[in-house]
Structure 1
Amino acid sequence: MKSIILMLALCLILQDSMEDFTTENATNIQTAIFGTSYNKYVRPSATTIVGIELNLLSINEMDVKKQIMSSSGWLTIIWEDPRLTWNPSVYGDIKYIYTKQDKIWRPELIVDNSVEGMSPLGHDELFFKVNHTGEVRWDPPGHYVTHCDFSITYYPFDYQTCSVEVTSFAFTIEALTLNSTYDTVNTEDYKANGEWILHSSRVEEHFLTEHGEKFSQLEFKVTFERRAKYYVTNVIYPLVLVSLLTNLVFLLPADSGEKISYILTVLLAQAVLLTLIGNSMPTTSVETPIIGMYISFVLLMAALATIITTLNLRLYLRTDQKAVPRWLKAFTFLVLLRINCRTAKVKEDDKALVVSNEDTINVEDVNGKGKTLKRMLNRPSQTPNKEDARFPFQCKEVSAFLDCFFFYLFNIVLIITTLVFLLVLAVSDVPSS
């Protein structure tokens, strides 16, 4: 008995489902609601409320140089039209029908920040879904190429927020108001991008004022985080490595003859890196990326190392090795000797040169009696002056002291600068709220 009842219920359900739609009933609905009394140029009510949702499918491109975002998706647009209602029980229980936009009123909407034209949304061949309650649903797909203000200060560890602005073109807020269906962008069908990670999204409602009239606008904002792994291995790592090579010029022996060629090679390598990284950034002076400032600083340090190396080689190759400048002697006593763990003791060879200005000569006369003669020598004195006695180092030794000093100095400056640079890039940038 139960099985018979179930079979009968199933037959009734199948019969009802078969009666849900017939071409005759659908045609009768079209005739009834789109009769002579319906005017597609007249809005449904005094103030029509239009709900909009952005469904994001993919991010095709985010061009930092052109400052544009290319995305694909569709808008779900819903509004109420009381003229498009019917009783489903009268028309075979049909609850919705489809029609094209040439027969129905629709809101005039544009993407306000588009960079590829600002034609109204939609196409004549698109269908509208009309519910028996008067609810109209419109899903126009689109390829949106919109302007985006990129912030490159913390490139490549940056977040970028771009938007799609949908604005009522013809109707003011007294006639039409745009409301967001949800607080965020619909990303259920979103396909992941190889360069950008979808971080968050939000919707903001605004009003535009033109010639004293206000128009409703919805701004769909999407925040992306750059995938930094590629830039770490191909930009950050070689940049830091090349910057630390600058210090090694002070370890090369001056006799090798390679100091100038080495530092010039490092300088050119840094200049090439600056050019390559600069080509991937927008040509703007509004913001300067931290990585650009770091490369400029490293380039400056390499230029200073070139100048210092050149001057130091001149000191090393001086003909008169005792002719150390007075200021450099003072700097050697105050700084260089302490850094090199040396003392200012006079060499034993220099001490042996300190003799009297008078020579004593013993001679014997013909009688064999000893006599002592004192006479002044006409040759130059072998006694060094007091300054030379206190400074026993030659130019070559002072040059080696200077190399050691600048090696430590450049290491400290570059390592601290690099650590600060990496720390700032890693933790400073946060997504906009």
Structure 2
Amino acid sequence: MDTNAALLRFVLLSALFPTNVFCQSGKDVNSLLTYLFTTEGYNKKVRPLTDQSQAVDINVDFFLNSVIAFDEQDESLKISGFLECSWTDEYLTWNSSDHNNISELFIPQDDIWKPDISLRNTFKSFTGLGATYLNAYVSSAGDVRWNPYQVLESTCSIDITYFPFDTQTCELKFTAWSYSSDQVELNKGNKGVQLEEYVENSAWALVGTSTRETNTDEAAVFFALKLKRRPNFYIINAILPVVFLSILNSFTFLLPVSSGERASYAVTVFLSLAVFLTIVANELPKNSQKTSLLSVYLMLMNSLSTFIVILSIAEVRIATRNANTKPVTKGYMTFIKISHFITCKTCKKSVTPAKVSTPKARKRLDLEDNITWTEAVDAIDIVFFWFSLLFTFLCTLILGAVAVNGDK
């Protein structure tokens, strides 16, 4: 009874939901290929249009897999991904009912017509897309889909003004090399740049993509990648040490001239800044038309350090002067007055009233009497300590703010 019930259920379901089951064999596929390439005489050298006066419309999308490397010095971008190219081949059509309902085929890419799409702005070698072992999908309606996977290396113009907070935009230009726009038109597809399989790069963040096409003088489609540098590595290993060294630069003036270590300390800071300038220079494009703000900052700090070294050596010489034989001049007295203002000091020296006829004369004598060259050097140190510290602070604040916000 159970067997009869199951049989009855199968007959009823078959009557209500009829289906056609086809078993396609290798002979059916071989017969179809013979029909297309022998009987119909398919020729891959002929553009796939019955009307050869028309242009073949090819839709192109790009699937980005990863950003492998971005070389700022060589100004090159290396990525991996594949194109999805689709078009209609009017010579690759068949009636599926005549071939045991075969509705699709996978044919080696070199056996059918395909556009000779190439990366126009390639960096090293100029090669065609795809490989001999790749297949193209073909439907019975003549729809062809070709997905050539490739590791692409293109040129990319670098703007290092805001390094290491910079954002770079690189374009991949694909053209149908041998064909004019009257013969082949490359159109951007509906998908654009696809990121389903994209793997993030540790040094660069992908912040945007865009696609455009041109079919005027030549057929070309452009895929733009907007990459923002991840600056943490450079902040920790370059920027912060440079800022700390710049601050130490100002503290040269806190060392007494009598210690004998001031000039050597100043030279050490100068050489340290020069080393970091070399490191940063090695990270930047050698032929760049623009200058990095970080390089400008390093040059300003090196210039300040050079001035401090020269001033430190000069102060050693000035401190050895004898005030009795060579009194402190008015120019140095200006530094003393400024240092008194900065440190909020007032001179209250006792002066004989008979020698002072006016309050102005009293004030001048209070400043000029008994001033040694060592005191003059100390006053110069106070003035230039605060000047260099303020200069360093303003340069760091202004150039840092411009670098961080300038490329947004």
TM-score in terms of structure 1 length:
0.83
Counterpart in 1 of 2:302?
Answer: 299
Contact 1:344 1:391 in 2 (8 A): no
Counterpart in 2 of 1:167?
Answer: 175
Q: Which moved more, 1:120-129 or 1:411-420?
A: 120-129
Look up the SS of the partner of 1:184 in the other structure.
strand
Match of 1:154 among 150, 162, 165: 162
2:15, 2:187 → 1: CA distance? 44
Match of 1:337 among 329, 340, 362: 340
Counterpart in 1 of 2:328?
Answer: 324
Match of 2:368 among 382, 386, 391: 391
Counterpart in 1 of 2:388?
Answer: 410
* Distance change (3 Å), C-alpha of 1:151 and 1:330: closer
1:118, 1:170 → 2: CA distance? 14
Counterpart in 1 of 2:358?
Answer: none
Q: How does 1:8-407 map to 2 (within 5 A)?
A: 8=14, 16=21, 19=23, 21-34=24-37, 35-45=39-49, 46-182=54-190, 184-207=192-215, 214-320=217-323, 323-333=327-337, 335-345=338-348, 347-348=349-350, 351=352, 391-392=368-369, 393-407=371-385
1:245, 1:153 → 2: CA distance? 26
How far is 1:8 from its partner?
4.5
Contact 1:183 1:203 in 2 (8 A): no
Aligned AA (2:167): Y
Aligned AA (1:138): W
* Distance change (3 Å), C-alpha of 1:128 and 1:9: farther
1:297, 1:330 → 2: CA distance? 26
Contact 1:183 1:202 in 2 (8 A): no
Instruction: Give CA-to-partner distance per residue, 1:347-369, whole Å, 9 cap, x none.
Output: 34x64997xxxxxxxxxxxxxxx
Aligned AA (1:324): V
2:26, 2:250 → 1: CA distance? 85
How far is 1:337 from its partner?
2.6
2:120, 2:367 → 1: CA distance? 81
2:183, 2:98 → 1: CA distance? 33
Look up the SS of the partner of 1:293 in the other structure.
helix
How far is 1:44 from its partner?
1.7
Q: Which moved more, 1:67-76 or 1:302-311?
A: 302-311
Contact 1:57 1:73 in 2 (8 A): yes
Contact 1:65 1:281 in 2 (8 A): yes
1:3, 1:252 → 2: CA distance? 103
Aligned AA (2:109): Q
Unaligned residue ranges in structure 2 (runs of 5+) = 356-361
Counterpart in 1 of 2:359?
Answer: none
Instruction: Give CA-to-partner distance per residue, 1:202-249, whole Å, 9 cap, x none.
Output: 1111247xxxxx220011111111111111111111111111111111
Contact 2:185 2:215 in 1 (8 A): no
Counterpart in 2 of 1:376?
Answer: none
1:6, 1:61 → 2: CA distance? 63
* Distance change (3 Å), C-alpha of 1:330 and 1:296: closer
Aligned residues: 391
1:157, 1:398 → 2: CA distance? 44
* Distance change (3 Å), C-alpha of 1:353 and 1:402: farther
TM-score in terms of structure 2 length:
0.88
2:178, 2:112 → 1: CA distance? 16
Aligned AA (2:125): G
* Distance change (3 Å), C-alpha of 1:191 and 1:386: closer
Look up the SS of the partner of 1:260 in the other structure.
helix
Aligned AA (1:398): A
How far is 1:124 from its partner?
2.9
How far is 1:413 from its partner?
1.1
* Distance change (3 Å), C-alpha of 1:12 and 1:426: same
**Aligned-residue CA RMSD (Å):** 2.7
1:53, 1:94 → 2: CA distance? 27
Instruction: Give CA-to-partner distance per residue, 1:178-221, whole Å, 9 cap, x none.
Output: 0011363111111111111111111111247xxxxx22001111
1:403, 1:308 → 2: CA distance? 10
Look up the SS of the partner of 1:181 in the other structure.
strand
* Distance change (3 Å), C-alpha of 1:9 and 1:191: farther
* Distance change (3 Å), C-alpha of 1:285 and 1:224: closer
1:306, 1:3 → 2: CA distance? 101
How far is 1:319 from its partner?
2.5
Q: Which moved more, 1:314-323 or 1:186-195?
A: 314-323
Instruction: Give CA-to-partner distance per residue, 1:292-344, whole Å, 9 cap, x none.
Output: 000000001111111222222222221235611232224534x2332232334
Aligned AA (1:81): D
Aligned AA (1:429): D
Q: Which moved more, 1:81-90 or 1:283-292?
A: 81-90
Look up the SS of the partner of 2:393 in the other structure.
helix
Instruction: Give CA-to-partner distance per residue, 1:359-410, whole Å, 9 cap, x none.
Output: xxxxxxxxxxxxxxxxxxxxxxxxxx99767512222212111111111111
Percent identity of paired positions between Structure 1 and Structure 2: 29
Q: Which moved more, 1:43-52 or 1:93-102?
A: 93-102
* Distance change (3 Å), C-alpha of 1:63 and 1:330: closer
Contact 2:335 2:379 in 1 (8 A): no
- Largest Rg, 1 or 2: 1
Unaligned residue ranges in structure 1 (runs of 5+) = 209-213, 355-384
Look up the SS of the partner of 2:82 in the other structure.
strand
